[in-house]
Structure 1
Amino acid sequence: MNTNNHYLNFIPETMPSQEKKEKDLFFVFYNNKILVFYKKTVVTIPSFSEFAKLSLNNYEEYYLGKFKDTPCYAIKLNEDPILCDELKFEDLRSIGLSIGEDFFTIAGKAYQILNWQETHNFCGRCGSRLENSQHERSKICNTCGLISYPKISPAIIVAVTKGDKLLLAHNNNFPENLYSVIAGFVEPGETVEQCIKREVYEETNIKIKDIKYFSSQPWSFPDSLMLGFTASYDSGDIKVDEVEINNAAWFTVDSLPLIPSKISIARKLIDNFIESQCH
C-alpha cells in the first residue's frame, strides 16, 4: 500500500513486508514501563539500531504496522537490561506529552497488544492453546475453530455543562484534588447514548440532554476505547454515588480544580469547554 501522502499516519499490519532496518521503531516494555531514548532535551522512541545495542535475546516481538512508512514493533522484555545513560524506562502516561500524541497512541497500541498476548493464550470455549493468525490480529483455536480478537472495552466520557459551568467529579481512584469529567463503560446491549445518561445519573444524580459526539481516543490501560461527548444539564441536584465518585460540583473557567493531562481526551473535553467560554 502506498502511504507516501500519509492520509493515515499509522497503517496497522500484522506481518512485516521487509527485513528490519536501522530506523524501524521499537516500542519496548519491561514491568509495564516503556523504554525511551533521551537526545539532549528530546524524548523519543528508540530505533532498531539503538535497541540492538542492548544485545538482548530474551524478549517477545510483535509487528504493529507502519508509522509514516516506518515499521513499528512491540517488544516485551523478559529480562532486566543494562541501559546506557540515554535509555530509560518510564511510565507511559507520565511521558505522553514528551513523546507526542502519535507515539503515545502507537505505544498504547503496543502495550495493549502485549497485554492481550500475555492474558489470552487459551481458548475460552474448549481450553486448548491458541495460535496467532498470520493474516489478521487474532488468535485461532485449532481444536474447536474459535477465533479470538484483541479485547477492546468501549467507554463513554462526557462533558456536561450548565450555562457557564462544567460538571467535574473526583473518582475514588484519582490522586487527591484531581477532578475530571464523567466516564464509564458501556454495558452489553446498551447504546452509547443510554450509557451516557445512565453513567451521569448513577454517579451524580444529574439528568442530561443535547448529547453530541466530540471525538474518541484509544486508552490502552489496559484496553479501553474512549468515546467522547458533550451534553447539557436538564434537571436534578448533585448527589454522588459514594461508590466510584466521592465528590462532584459545577465549576466555572475561573474556579477549575486540578484536571487531567493534555494527552487525555478528558482534558480535550475540558479545554473545549474553556475555549467555548472565552469566545
Structure 2
Amino acid sequence: PLLVLGPLLVLCIRTGKLRTWRATGLTAAFTVVLINLPLALLYPRGWREFLRLNIERGMDPDSIYNVISSLTGWPGFDGQLAAGEVPVKLNAFTGIVFVLCCAAIAYVALSAPKRPRLAQLCFLVVAAFLLTTKVWSPQYSLWLVPLAALAVPHWRLLLGWMAIDAAVWVPRMFYYLGTDNKGLPQEWFLGAVVVRDLAVLGLCAVIVYQIYHPHRDLVRRNGDDDPAGGVLDGARDVRVLPVGNSRGRPRGGRRRQRRDSRRNAMSSA
C-alpha cells in the first residue's frame, strides 16, 4: 500500500493539493506504526524475519535476473554467495532501477496533456516494482489485479494477461518436479516468465499511451474524470511540465499556423 503514496504525491503536486497528501502520508505512517509496533515489541525475531529474508535472498526463480543468469551463464552482480551472505550489489541495483522507473513515471504524470488517473499511475508503479525486483512470488501478481481493472478497463486485454499469468503456474510446478520425475526442463518455465513480463509491459504501454491520449481512455471517454481518485477527481492542474502542453496540441498545429500566416501576408500584399 505504501507504493500508492508515490503516485498520490505526484498528482497532488500537479493539482496543488500537497496539504491533502501530507495528511494522507501521516495517516499511513501512523497506521503502519500502530500495526507493526506491538508485533515488533512482542515478537521481534519473527517480525524481523521477513525483512531479513528479503535482504539476504538472491535472485528469485521468477525474476528477470534469474532468467538472464540461467540462459547466459551470467553469475549475477555479486557472483557466488555463501549461505547467509547478503547480495549487496543486487539489492542496490534493483533499488536504483526502481527509483529510476518511478522518476520516469513521475515525468509522464507531470508532462501528460491531462492529469492521469490515480489507478493508472499506481499500476505503473507496482508493475515497475515487480519487473525490477529480485523476488516475484506467484502471489505478488495479485497486487496488480485490482489496479489493472481500474487502470485498463478492457476485458479482453485483462483476460489475456490474467490467463498468461495463471498459466505460469503449470511450467513452474513441472519444473520444480524435475525432469527425472517427468517434469519439464527449466527453459519452459523461464520462457513462461518472459511471456508474463512482456504481458505486463504491454499493459504498461497501453496505459502510457492512454495517458498521453486521454480520448482513448474508456473511463474518460464516458465523461468521467477520475472516479477512484478521491479529492483528485475533477481537480484542476496547477503545475504541469511545459512539454505536456506541447503534447496536448493537435498535430500539425504550428505548421497550420505558419501556413495561415503566409496566406494572410499574401492577401494583404
Q: TM-score range by the shorter chain?
A: under 0.3
Q: Which structure has the larger Rg over C-alpha atoms? A: 2
More strand as a share of residues? 1
* Structure ranking higher on relative contact order (CA contacts 8 Å, 6+ apart): 2
More helix as a share of residues? 2
TM-score (norm 1): 0.27
